[in-house]
A and B are shown apart, each in its own frame.
Chain A
Amino acid sequence: MIQAIALLLTFQLGGEALRAALHLPIPGPVIGMTLLLTWLVLKGGPGDALRNTSGTLLQHLSLMFVPAGTGVMLHAGRLTDEAWPIFIALIASTVLGLLAAGLTLHLLTRHRAGRTQ
């Protein structure tokens, strides 16, 4: 497990270094994810330790958002002053984004599945 965590941190560190060196607009962990994916392709796949540790972390991805989410208490004033525009815009745009992405991919791939059959 420690080995797997060290590996994940190493790739995150590599991502941060690359971001700083090239002034990329993408966060270090996302670059680290791409680097690890490349490494997995070259190596042919993850070992058991990496697979298990990653599985445990990903199973609790929700937990990692709790500390930042609790920061909602810092913005109570603005959230009540502009409650209607904020909540209508958040809910409507999320619904529209979900439908736009989901329907587009669904319609495009269904068409393709029909053609290849």
Chain B
Amino acid sequence: MNGGTMSEIWVYLSAQPLLWLTLTLAAYLLALALHRRAGGHPAINPVLISVALLVALLLLTDTPYPRYFDGAQFVHFLLGPTTVALAIPLHGQLKRLLSMAGPLTIALVVGSLTAALSAYAIAALMGASAPTLASLAPKSVTTPIAMGIAERLGGLASLTAVFVILTGIVGAIFASGLLARAGVRDEASVGFALGLASHGIGTARAFQLSEQTGAFAALAMGLNGLFTALTLPWILPMLAGLFN
């Protein structure tokens, strides 16, 4: 096969959703294999490695993101039914969750406000622009909620999605080591912290640790999404006043 036909085939395939869907799955399977080979080490995060591989490939082949997303949207769509599926591990832990309702509520309020307000305050003190600040504040909650909140606060939805995912990766990498060092090792607290600070990516990490840890993470993710959506649009303008 000569170079001419090779490039014709490439031009044809790279315009098809099939290619980018297949490559998304291939990048993920490769990242997953690396993660397993590293003994499940949190620094070898599957999302981080898949994204790095795909961004490199898209830049090398000069492929615009919207064309990539034409194929990848089928994977993206699964986020919805998978979020619904979190009800199953939650149901499995329901008795335990209900028996801890008081402490869980307090941990939710303390953790949620700490994550959102410290992100805003630190970036504001370091001179970040207003759209960046509004996009950063809701970064601990699950993507669709965070995008909605950021838009109400004057942020950029697609930038928020990037901050949300980076936050998820940071939390998934550091959570278990950091919490163990602080003396927190019980599944409920580790899971709840992961889901609260790092939404779905933290929850994915929590399920790698154990099903119980995952159930607490799923609960924290849902509760923090709800709590942040209801409180941040009111609290943040007050905080913004302090930095003006």
Separation of A96 and B103 alpha carbons in the complex (Å): 18
Question: Is there contact, CB below 8 Å, between B203 and A54?
Answer: no
Question: Is there contact, CB below 8 Å, between A97 and B197?
Answer: yes
Interface contacts (Cβ under 8 Å), in number, total 322
On chain A, the number of residues with a Cβ less than 8 Å from chain B's Cβ atoms is: 73
On chain B, the number of residues with a Cβ less than 8 Å from chain A's Cβ atoms is: 109
Residue of B nearest to A91 (CB): B170
Mostly, the A contact residues are helix
Residue A103, interface by CB 8 Å: yes
User: A residues within 8 A CB of B119?
Assistant: 89-90, 92-93
Separation of A58 and B32 alpha carbons in the complex (Å): 14
Separation of A8 and B90 alpha carbons in the complex (Å): 15
Separation of A91 and B201 alpha carbons in the complex (Å): 15
Interface string of A85-107 (1 = CB under 8 A from B): 11011111111111111111110
Residue of B nearest to A68 (CB): B161
Min Cβ gap B203→A in Å is 6
User: B residues within 8 A CB of A29?
Assistant: 79-81, 83-84, 144
Residue B2, interface by CB 8 Å: no
Separation of A98 and B119 alpha carbons in the complex (Å): 13
Which residues of A pack against B, CB within 8 Å? 5, 8-9, 11-12, 15, 25-30, 32-34, 36-37, 40-41, 45-46, 50-51, 53-55, 57-75, 78-79, 82, 84-86, 88-106, 108-109, 112
Given contacts A58-B82, A63-B24, A68-B143, 6 further A-B contacts (CB under 8 A): A11-B87, A37-B94, A55-B88, A70-B69, A73-B59, A89-B122
